[in-house]
Amino acid sequence: MLKCISNKKMFASVELAEDVLIELWTKNDYTDNNAPIAVYKCEDCGYYHLTSRGPMNSKLASLIGSDKFKIMKEANRWLDKWKKK
């Protein structure tokens, strides 16, 4: 298995990394400045990583606060409830 010297999770494409970034935001209630907000291409491994630095990813920024985002969060909340039973 490939591993980056940063020990961060590696994503093969920017699209995959953005999908994971959005999924994390729909599953978690981020309230501090340590939340992942962007995607970048690593100079060491050539793959994409998530970061809490820099400007927020444009796809994530446009989704947050939308009805679609609220529906996604609610769906994940119910999935978590059913998993705990």
| In the predicted structure, residue 26 carries a pLDDT above the cut 70 | yes
Phi, psi of 33 (to 5 degrees): -85, 10
**pLDDT one-digit tens code per residue, 31-81:** 767 899 999 999 999 999 999 999 999 999 999 888 998 898 889 888 877
Q: Are strands 48-51 and 38-41 parallel, antiparallel or unpaired?
A: antiparallel
pLDDT at position 61? 93
The answer to whether 39 touches 21, Cβ cutoff 8 Å, is yes
**pLDDT one-digit tens code per residue, 1-12:** 678 999 999 999
Residue boundaries of the structural domains of the chain: 14-84
The whole-angstrom distance between residue 25's C-alpha and the CA centroid of its chain comes to: 6
Measured between alpha carbons, how far is 28 from 36 in angstroms, rounded to an integer?
A: 11
